[in-house]
Amino acid sequence: MRNSFVGLDIGYDSIKVIELKRDKAGLVATNCVIEPIEYDDVKNYSEEKVAEAIARALKNPSIKGSSVVVSLSGQSVFTRFIKFPTLDRSKIDQIVQFEAQQQVPFPIDDVIWDYQLLGDWATIDDIDEASVALVASKKEVITGLLENFESLKMDIEYIDIAPFALCNCIKFNEPALDGCTLVLDIGAKSTDMLVMEKDTVWLRNIPIGGIAMTQAVQKEFKVTFKEAEFLKKKYSVILCGDGPMVGESPERLRISRALTATMTRLLAEISRSIGYYRSHSEGGRIKQIVLVGGGSNIENIGTFLEHKFNVGVKKLDTMHNLEYRNGMAEFIAKKNTCLDVLLD
């Protein structure tokens, strides 16, 4: 069995790389690199800048492997969960092929798609319904990715998608989580919402995240995107609660106003999606919320969500089951981030 892996998360805002080793103590994180993608504004965001950031991250001397597991952002892929009466296994391929042609919103020849049967293959004949996760990505996204790695002389072991990797990461790090859990990965371009319940997961990518918050700050302060990004991170707060905002600086009040407006739009989408999930999947009530992603660093975001959903909110704790070496724990604490999606 291999005992060393490199995982690479291609986010919209940054490239995150983690090197993991398996030793007697269990899984150990030996190195990590976070490489920002350079852009002053979404208007001049480019694939070249993404490729440069990937190259910088992987050429970092601390990362030694020659093959990587790549996770793609939820917004670069199309996912659907399909259920159908279980037939014999040899027919499943055919059925999913038919479903892919029906459901993928692009010509099927222009995408690369695959599926995973959810649940336990061993008992599939004993249950009434097969449940399948279908994933598709435009061919140009995958070929662009492969070209990048060819020039870096690195092999891609396999490509995963961030929300599925996050789901595995949560199961690994938070095995005690019980009941229907809403996971929110508030990234830059979008927010991945996952509803995890028993052995199933349901997900949706919502195109509202840190960029939309920066744009709201930009509008509030009438500054450039870059200046707004700086102000957002400096004052990063959602003021909530019942009391008057006595003693708050004007900047914090204005940032809070901009972030609250964006979060309210995001929450409307999340509530709508939960309603859809519950009516279509006969899902249970959300018992708790787990937060991940750069947007989860906003001061008070947990309290804000607690008020709205009336359930407990916590940040994902990746320090539980994973040992960190080479000062990584301090690095992660300093960056106030967790390398959530890489522990696949």
Task: Tell me which residues touch ligand ATP (CB under 6 A).
Answer: 11-14, 73, 187-190, 209-211, 229, 232-233, 236, 293-295, 297-298
- DSSP secondary structure code for residue 238 in this structure: -
Helix (H, G, I), strand (E, B), or coil: what is residue 104? coil
CA angle 196, 201, 206 (to 5 degrees): 90
Helix (H, G, I), strand (E, B), or coil: what is residue 228? helix
Distance CA(106)–CA(148), nearest Å, equals 24
Shortest-Cβ-distance residue relative to Mg ion: 187
Closest approach of ligand ATP to the CB of residue 146, in Å? 19
How many Cβ atoms from other residues are within 10 Å of residue 312's Cβ? Answer: 12
Distance CA(189)–CA(215), nearest Å, equals 11
- Closer residue to Mg ion (CB): 278 or 315: 315
- Closer residue to ligand ATP (CB): 7 or 293: 293
DSSP string, 12-62: SSEEEEEEEEEETTEEEEEEEEEEEPP-SSGGG--HHHHHHHHHHHHHSTT
Task: Extract the tokens encoding 256.
Answer: 């809070």
- Closer residue to ligand ATP (CB): 134 or 217: 217
Helices (H), the chain: 47-59, 89-103, 139-151, 162-173, 210-221, 225-235, 250-281, 301-309, 328-335
- Closer residue to ligand ATP (CB): 65 or 295: 295
- Closer residue to Mg ion (CB): 30 or 76: 76
Closest approach of ligand ATP to the CB of residue 140, in Å? 18
Closest approach of ligand ATP to the CB of residue 187, in Å? 2
Q: Which does 189 bind (CB under 5 to 8 A by kind): Mg ion, ligand ATP, none?
A: ligand ATP
- Closer residue to Mg ion (CB): 65 or 187: 187
Closest approach of Mg ion to the CB of residue 166, in Å? 9
Query: What are the residues binding Mg ion (CB under 5 A)?
Result: 11, 187
Helical packing angle, 250-281 and 225-235, nearest 10°:
90
Closest approach of Mg ion to the CB of residue 16, in Å? 8
Closest approach of ligand ATP to the CB of residue 251, in Å? 14
Distance CA(133)–CA(72), nearest Å, equals 16
Q: Which does 295 bind (CB under 5 to 8 A by kind): Mg ion, ligand ATP, none?
A: ligand ATP
Q: Which residues pair with 138 in a beta bridge?
A: 111
